Structure 1
Amino acid sequence: MLDVRRMQVLRAVVGSGSVSGAAGVLGYTPSAISQQIAALEKEAGVELLERVGRGVRPTAAGLLLSEYAEAIGRQVAEAETALADLVAGRIGRLSVRYFATAGAGLVAPAVARLRERHPGVRIDLRLARDVEDSLAEVREGRADLALAVKGEGGGGVRLVELLEDPYLAVLPRGHRLVGRRSVRLAELAEEAFVGSEWPGPCLDAQIDACEAAGFRPRFVVESEDYVTAQGFVAAGLGVSLVPRLGLGSRHPGVVVREVRDPVPSRTIHAVVRESAPPQPPLDAFIEALREAAAGATGTS
């Protein structure tokens, strides 16, 4: 196998036209240069230089290896530059998993911020159909970050809290409470409820708040979709609770009011692998998510 460092010595000899000239460029003695060339010729099994007067010139094999050495030198320089850019966070690749309602309100503005500040960082965005699957991807190193509601740390992952996303009351127009700026959760105790969530931490946040207010919601429709839930509410089939991030498009037949005493809320986290090595692009993206979260809650 050819020694790459010796090939660079050959390149210096060919470039300067003499062993002494290469020694001056590289800071070696002429004897050391000659020894390196002799060792490289032994590895190659062919002569690489021939004497011409007081200098040397490459044989065909020597010229060939010198050209490859020059190409290798360029690639090493490019690799060093790319590595420095990666360490500094100027380039890189992130794999991100997110759930639907976090897409428009958090992920989209965060990606826009990251692209503006770090245009060399590429992001692989995938909508998570199953939160547990996305968390498993983070634990196993197949994804760098996932967005999740509630959850617990440990098990190889670390939670970074981004925001509290409060639930709002969605009422049909003409409802007895639409004249209020906000409604107490207990005032909805006797109402029929239109479900807006799949079973899981988001639905749990609704139910826990209702139970804290002294009742358990009576679901008459399970839509498990915010837009569809608004349609059922507009038709007069009940009231619903929808998180602020889920109210991007409001049905003209509903009225939305804040809820208090208590405020149902879901906590949105960024989930990262606990043992992951430092990644400046990941840190920059988490910061962009925090800024997007501050903007979504009006605290920016």
Structure 2
Amino acid sequence: MLDVRRMQVLRAVVSGGSISSAAANLGYTPSAISQQIATLEREAGTPLLEKAGRGVRPTPAGRLLAERATELAGLLADAEAELADLRAGRTGLLRLRYFNTAGVGLIPPAVAKFRAEHPEVRLELKMIDEGILGEVATGEADLAVIVVGREVPRARGVRVEHLVDDPYQVVLPQGHPLCEQQELDLVQLAAESWVLGEALGGGPCAESQREAFDAAGFTPRVALETGGDYSAQGFVAAGLGVGLQPRLALGVLHPGVVVRPLRHPEPVRRLHVAIRETVAAQPATRALLAALAGVARA
């Protein structure tokens, strides 16, 4: 296999026209230059230099390798510049995954902020509902916004950082008597029928809702389970019950509903970001995390 450093020595000999000039330019002895050339000729399997008066000139093979050495020097310089940009967060690719409702009030403004500050960094965005942490663990994604229950999930090569506690709010139909209050205790809704996204089944979102209902001392009477937050608002507006939705999912409101914050207790879903360890320290990664955190806290 050809050695790139020896090719650069050959390039210096061909450019200077002699072993001695290359030695002077590179800071080596003529003997060291000759040894490098002899080793490169053995690697190439053919002579690379021939006598020309008091100096040397390249053979066709020597001219080829000297030209390729020049090209390699340019490629290495480009690679070093690109690597410096990547380390400084000026370029690169980040692959971000997120769940459905995060795509309403969190991801769009955070991505807009990040792109305004880092226009040369490419973002690959993908919404998935299942296996989102697995994509980070297998290297298919760099970051993922996830909902965490009581136990923070762990995976090899993945760092999980807290992002924000996103409070749930109650969604009431227009004209409901409780619309007159600006804030509600959860127990005030004990007698209501409910339109819920997961109907207190499995998953961290249902877990946090169930904890809140248990703390308020009642089990909700579920009239309808629906997967979509906006469609759930439609059923609430139609009078089928009241709803419970996270604040970050309420960027778009049905005209027939009113939203009020809850207390005693305030249900929350715990949002975290899973990050591949290999990209966690990169400036672009930290900048994207800062954008997500800034929007989440706003």
TM-score normalised per structure 1: 0.89
Equivalent residue runs for 1:90-239 within 5 Å = 90-130=90-130, 133-151=131-149, 152-156=152-156, 157-197=158-198, 199=201, 200-239=203-242
Once the two structures are TM-superposed, the CA of residue 56 in structure 1 deviates from its matched residue by 2.2
Whether the 8 Å CA contact 1:207–1:217 is kept in 2: the answer is no
| Cα distance in 1 between the residues matched to 2:20 and 2:62 | 17
Residue 73 of structure 1: aligned partner: 73
* Letter matched to residue 31 of structure 1: S
Deviation at 1:240, TM superposition (A): 0.9
Deviations 1:235-273 (A, max 9, x none): 111111111111121111111112122111111111234
Bigger Cα displacement from structure 2, 228-237 vs 91-100: 91-100
Once residues 277 and 57 of structure 2 are traced to their aligned partners in structure 1, the CA distance between those partners, rounded to angstroms, is: 57
User: What is the distance in 2 between the residues matched to 1:43 and 1:139?
Assistant: 42
Question: Displacement, 1:37?
Answer: 1.8
In structure 1, what is the Cα distance between the partners aligned to 2:280 and 2:185? Answer: 47
Alignment of 1:261 with 2:264, yes or no, is: yes
Q: Answer yes or no: is the 8 Å Cα contact 2:93–2:123 preserved in 1.
A: yes
Superposed displacement of residue 29, structure 1: 1.2
Closer, same or farther: CA 27–107 of 1 in aligned 2, 3 Å = same
Which structure 1 segments of 5+ residues have no match?
296-300
> Does the C-alpha gap of structure 1 residues 153 and 222 become closer, same or farther in structure 2, counting only changes over 3 Å?
closer
* Sequence identity (%): 55
* Structure 2 unaligned spans of 5+: none
Q: Return the offset for 1:276.
A: 6.8
Matched residues in 2 for 1:47 and 1:155: separation? Answer: 55
Partner deviation per Cα, 1:63-89 (whole Å, 9 max, x = no partner): 111101111111122222222222333
Partner deviation per Cα, 1:99-132 (whole Å, 9 max, x = no partner) = 01112322222223332333333222211121xx
Q: Please state how far the C-alpha of 1:230 moved relative to its aligned partner.
A: 0.9
Computed over aligned residues only, the root mean square deviation of the Cα atoms, in angstroms, reads: 2.1
